[in-house]
Amino acid sequence: MFKKGWALLFLALLLTAASGCSNSGKSASGSDEKTEVVISAAASLTDALDELQSSFEDEYPDIDLTFNFGSSGKLAQQIEQGAPADVFLSASNQDMDKLQEKKLIQKDSRLEFAKNSLVLIAKKDQSASTSSFEEINREKIDHLAMGEPESVPAGRYTKEVLEHLNIWESLQNKLVLGSDVRQVLTYVESGNAELGVVYASDALTSDKVKVVSEAKADWHEPIVYPGAITSHSEHAKEAKLFLDYLASAEGKEVLHQYGFN
């Protein structure tokens, strides 16, 4: 009887210990599994979001952020085709408007969290005689890199600038089109294009290029970054936490460090 009592007590202790071990690994939500929030974001946000990801996941350990970077136009198209995304962060209102018209985003969740500007860049170790956008067509350059106007907001803004300066048509045979603004930056860094047009935030991320000139704000539509939760998101609550964090003082401080207004 004595041995049997000890055996039962030992079994009870084992069960208690096992229960304690299983509970100790649980997250604050009471589940071992983390919630994955998929974010489709404009390529120009890459560096800022990489930093924000670390601080956000430290504050919300139950949430894992997964990013899909690309041109806003192509990302919007992916969402239209049913690609998984909980949040869409665009580099233009135009691409967000298209999704809103098709009821593919939650309208009430939409907000603007950043602004940007366009700059003309050249390779840092290259002597560029061009000192402004107005002079692009007067200089002997072979290639000007810019985003594809149909799918890349930066390309669309660049086209507006060049049309405003009445040099769009005359530059057609010199244009090198990138699939997103980061590819445009790479073209200039590698020397495949003497000049390029990117966002000020992108130029700031590279130590291989220099800013030659900044486009005046009234030469193009305002460059704003809207964000919204997609209509088919299965994690709208967690997605809202991220959007709120992005628009918070801490989020704005990080964005400012990376060249966003």
Mark the binding-site residues for molybdate, compressed into ranges: 44, 72, 154, 181, 199
Angle between helices 46-59 and 236-246 (to 10 degrees): 120
**What is the distance between the alpha carbons of residues 235 and 239, in angstroms, rounded to a whole number?**
6
Q: Are 203 and 259 in contact (CB under 8 A)?
A: yes
Annotated binding site: 44, 72, 154, 181, 199
Backbone phi, psi, residue 42, to 5°: -55, 140
From the list 94, 85, 146, 92, the residue with the least C-alpha distance to 114 is: 92
Q: Which residues pair with 63 in a beta bridge?
A: 35
- How far apart CA 43 and CA 47 sit, in angstroms, is 9
